[in-house]
Amino acid sequence: MKKFMNSVDTILTESLHGFAAAHADILTLDPSGKFIQRKALKAGKVALISGGGSGHEPLHGGFVGHGMLDAACPGQVFTSPTPDQMVEAAAAVDTGAGCLFIVKNYEGDVMNFEMGAEMAGGQVMSVITNDDVAVEDSTWTTGRRGVAGTMVVEKIAGAAAESGMALAPLAELAKRVNANARSMGVALTSCTVPAAGKPTFDIGDGEMEFGVGIHGEPGRRRDTLKSADAIAEEICTSIVNDLGDRAKGNALLFVNGFGGTPVMELYLMYNSARAILEKKGVTIVRSLVGSYVTSLDMAGCSITVVMMDGEMLDLWDRPVHTAGLRWGM
C-alpha cells in the first residue's frame, strides 16, 4: 500500500485540519473535529446537515457553504458518524428554522442520524437517499443504497433553503429529487482502506465489477471488461427501465468518478451515456462530470440521471460556493 500519510490513526484528523485551513473563507472545523460547518450562517434559514464515512470526498464536507450544506459530520473511513456528532452540529448551525438531515441509505448512517435527530430535539426532519438501481439489498443496507444522487439532493435542497423555504416543504422537495434520481456504478479496480492496508476486493486485469457500491461492496456481477459504449448502454438501460414513465423529458446527466479515474475517461463515458439516453427519449439539459462522490482510490465511475422539472432546474442553477462545487457567485 502506497499512500501519503503519517499514521493510519491520524490520517483523517490531519486531512480535516488541512481541508479546513485550505477553505477557511468558506467553512470552519469544530475544535473536536466532530463536524465541519459553514462559516457564515444565515439567520432564519433551515440548516442542512449531512455526513457519512470519510473516503468519499468531496462528499460531504466539500459541499458545506453557500447554497448547499450548513454542516457535515465525517465518520472514520467508510464508517458512519456517531449520533453525538449530529447533535452537536445541529446545535451549532440551527438558527431557528430547524434542521434537515440528508442521509444516505446505509444501515449505520440511518440508525445514527435517527438517534441524532431524537437526541437533538427541536425541529428536525430527515430525508433518506436511495438512488442506486444496481441492487435492492446488500449487507450494508435494507433497500437501495444512497450514492451520487445524494449530491444532487444536497444542491437542490440547499438552494431552496437559501431562498427561505420552510422545513416541511424543503423535506418534500428533497424527497422528490431523490425519487427522480437513479444511479449505477462500475469499478475497474478495488479501493484500499488505509487501516486495512490491502485492496477491499480482488479483481483481475480483464475484469470489472458491475453495479459496485461506493464502499467496494459487490455489485450485480463480476464481468469481463467491455467497451465504454457497452458499459454505458447497460447502465443507461437499467436506469431508464427503472425510471419507467418518468424517463421522458428534461434531465441532469451526472458522470461521477470514483477517485482513480482520469477526467478524460469520465468525459468519454459522458459522451457515450448522453448519446444513449437521448436515443431513449431523455433530453439532457444539465450536465456534471467529475469526481464528487468517490471511493478513495477506486478506478471506475457511476452514471446518475435525475429527471428535472422547472423548479428543480431553477434551483440547480442557483449560485453555490463550496470547496467542491461552485458557480454563479
Class of residue 222 by CB neighbours under 10 A (exposed 0-12, middle 13-18, buried 19+): middle
Give the separation between CA 145 and CA 181, rounded to whole angstroms: 12
The three three-digit cell numbers of residue 19, written as one number: 481541508
Nearest one of 52, 51, 142, 131 to 99, comparing CA atoms: 51
Catalytic residue among 23, 60, 66, 215: 215
Q: Which candidate in 23, 56, 60, 66 is catalytic?
A: 56
CA nearest neighbour of 219 among 230, 207, 227: 207
Helix H, strand E, coil C: the string for 71-126 is EEEEEEECCCCCHHHHHHHHHHHCCCCCEEEEEECCHHHHHHHHHHHHHHCCCEEE
- The span from the CA of 231 to the CA of 132, in Å, is 16
Helix (H) or strand (E) holding 289: strand 282-290
Verify whether residue 56 is a known catalytic residue: yes
Rounded CA separation 16/251 (Å): 34
* 64 vs 194: CA distance, rounded Å: 25
The C-alpha cell at 316 is: 440547480
CA dist., res. 193 & res. 55, Å (int): 8
Q: Taking Cα atoms as reference points, which of 289, 287, 324 lies closest to residue 308?
A: 287
Catalytic residues: 56, 215
